[in-house]
Amino acid sequence: MSQYISQHKRYFSSAKLCSQLGQSNALLRACAHIMAATTHPARHARPPWKPVLGASSDEQALWHRYLFLDSFAMAHYYDLSRFVSKTQFDIIDPHNRLALHRKQGGLFLTYHHHFFNHLAPLLGSFGLPTSVVSLSFNQSPLYSLYEQYLRTPTEAAQKLFAGGKWIFIDPTAHSKLPRDAVLDAVQKKGNVVMAIDFNNIFPWGSSTPILLAGHPLHIPTGLLKRVTSMDCPVSLTYLYLSPQGKMELRIFSLPENLSDLISSYTKNLNSLLTSDPAFWEGWHDIT
């Protein structure tokens, strides 16, 4: 356990140092590659998708990409203000969803990917008040040991939400406050970032079965059902760093019908898992 803790502390420290040294994206990218190879706690592990997708000829390169994305995102997390102001983003928004969300608010439905925590600051920089639904940090018994590394950047992130806030959920507490906070934000024409690509951990919540890479997952859909009944925009949204180094903000419309919405959400993720398995952080739920 002590080795596990020291590895993570070293990783967070190197990410913070990377952020301080990386005055350009090119330098930060180089630092992240070094982190992936030297300080990432999972650098000696096997790719989590291997039991699902099997071995591949580019397995080592894919695993380094996963570790690099994680390290690059973590280094940026220590200076999100610079991330949103200095990074060049290609915005892929074929149905002009950003304009719709600016006018009506709504739900940005996303996945657990390396840049999940970076979405709200970026959307906030566009003038969209955006809150984020996240598992409470104190759900980890080790959080008190990492708090010094995470509290400051997490508090700094909220300042970039354009009036939005973190909405922390505790699955052990049967509280309606997080749900009410989400519904209240949407009713007031604010925006909420939320992911549902994980096995339902809320004993009181409803689930919907889906298949990811041919494996079953029972995702939580109770809150999603409530939001979609409010007749507000729901868009699939995520940040994607292409292998060529382009940072893309991808925003797509989703069907209004809940069943069709979940099907479209799942189909897109399955496509990503096939084309770039390093994108997703949720492999542990299906392996």
| pTM, entire model | 0.95
Amino acid symbol at 281: E
Q: What's the angle, vertex CA 244, arms to CA 239 and CA 247, rounded to 5? A: 25
pLDDT at residue 3, as a whole number: 83
User: pLDDT tens digits, residue range 96-111?
Assistant: 999 999 999 999 999 9
What H or E segment, with its residue span, contains residue 125?
A: helix 119-125
pLDDT at residue 174, as a whole number: 74
The domain tally of the chain equals: 1
Pick from 234, 243, 286, 240: nearest CA to 264: 234
Pick from 2, 220, 195: nearest CA to 109: 195
**Tokens 């996303």 sit on residue:** 110
The pair phi, psi for residue 114, each rounded to 5°, is -60, -25
Structural domain containing residue 187: 2-285
pLDDT at residue 142, as a whole number: 63
Amino acid symbol at 229: S
pLDDT at residue 139, as a whole number: 67
For range 262-284, the mean pLDDT: 96
What are the residues facing 238 on neighbouring strands? 250
pLDDT at residue 31, as a whole number: 95
Contact by Cβ (8 Å): 114, 69:
yes
User: pLDDT tens digits, residue range 73-91?
Assistant: 999 999 999 999 999 999 9
For range 157-163, the mean pLDDT: 97
Give the number of other CB atoms < 10 A from CB of residue 245.
9
Contact by Cβ (8 Å): 112, 185:
no
User: pLDDT tens digits, residue range 207-237?
Assistant: 999 999 999 999 999 999 999 999 899 999 9
Query: How many whole angstroms separate alpha carbon 14 and alpha carbon 105?
Result: 37
For a pLDDT cut of 70, what percent of the chain falls above it? 97
- Angle between helix 25-38 and helix 59-77 axes, rounded to 10 deg: 120
User: pLDDT tens digits, residue range 176-193?
Assistant: 788 899 999 999 999 999
Contact by Cβ (8 Å): 162, 124:
yes
Query: Is pLDDT at 27 greater than 80 in this prediction?
Result: yes
Pick from 197, 187, 195, 196: nearest CA to 129: 187
pLDDT band at 141 (very low <50, low <70, confident <90, very high): low
Residues 209-240 as b/e (b if ≥16 CB within 10 A, e otherwise) read ebebbeeebebbbebbeebbeeebbbbbbbbb
Contact by Cβ (8 Å): 227, 234:
yes
pLDDT at residue 73, as a whole number: 97
User: pLDDT tens digits, residue range 199-209?
Assistant: 998 877 899 99
Please give the DSSP secondary-structure letter assigned to residue 129. -
List the end-to-end C-alpha distance of the chain, in Å, as a whole number: 23
**72 Cβ contact list (under 8 Å, min separation 6):** 28, 29, 32, 114, 241
**Tokens 């003038």 sit on residue:** 127
